[in-house]
């Protein structure tokens, strides 16, 4: 991870939910296409895509009931088990941890909107 990326967060939205991920774990942002669904898989698994010689799983990030209609981009993330894709609506921007405000319950907010910062290793299928 580049020193420049330390403390930077890539913010994205899915189904109206604001999320963030360590910018240092972002490999690439690609247009969502050629995602092959996997019958009988967990409903959070959108499918797989062919990326740099591998079959990379793509997970839904928004509310399951609306995700299919709105997700247009795939964030390729570096996970301990290999690259993983996260299907998102749009990328909002890049912020730093100083831009986040925490309340007494530990929730994080960006410009007044609650944001969930996830780790790539949190993206797993059951």
Partner 1 sequence: MQSIKDIAELPIDGREGLVLFFNVGEHQFGVRLTEVVRIDEITADGRCELLDSMIELDTIDLQKFFNATLRNKTGTRVLIVFGTDEEIFGMTADEVDQIIAAQETPELKWPPQLDGNLEKIYSGFFRRGEKLVPAINPLAIKEEALREAC
Binding site for partner 1 (CB under 8 A): 34, 36-42, 45, 48-50, 53-57, 79, 81-82, 84, 123-126
Query: Toward partner 1, which CB reaches closer, 14 or 79?
Result: 79
> What is the C-alpha to C-alpha distance for residues 97 and 99, in angstroms, rounded to an integer?
5
Query: Toward partner 1, which CB reaches closer, 34 or 113?
Result: 34
- For residue 51, give every residue at least 6 positions away whose Cβ sits within 8 Å of its Cβ, in sequence order, or none: 30, 76, 83, 85
Query: Toward partner 1, which CB reaches closer, 16 or 82?
Result: 82
Q: Which residues pair with 31 in a beta bridge?
A: 73
SS3 state of residue 67: helix
Min dist. Cβ of residue 54 to partner 1 (A): 6
Min dist. Cβ of residue 52 to partner 1 (A): 11
């Amino acid at each position: 991870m580049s020193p420049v990326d330390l403390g930077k967060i890539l913010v994205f939205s899915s189904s109206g939910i604001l999320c963030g991920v360590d910018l240092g774990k972002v490999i690439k942002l690609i247009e969502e296409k050629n995602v092959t669904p996997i019958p009988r898989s967990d409903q959070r698994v959108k499918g797989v895509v062919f990326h740099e010689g591998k079959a990379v799983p793509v997970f839904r990030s928004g509310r399951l009931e609306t995700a299919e209609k709105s997700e247009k981009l795939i964030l390729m993330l570096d996970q301990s088990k290999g690259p993983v894709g996260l299907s998102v609506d749009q990328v909002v921007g890049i912020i730093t941890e100083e831009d986040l405000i925490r309340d007494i319950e530990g929730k994080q907010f960006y410009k007044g909107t609650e944001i969930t910062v996830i780790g790539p290793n949190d993206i797993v299928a059951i």
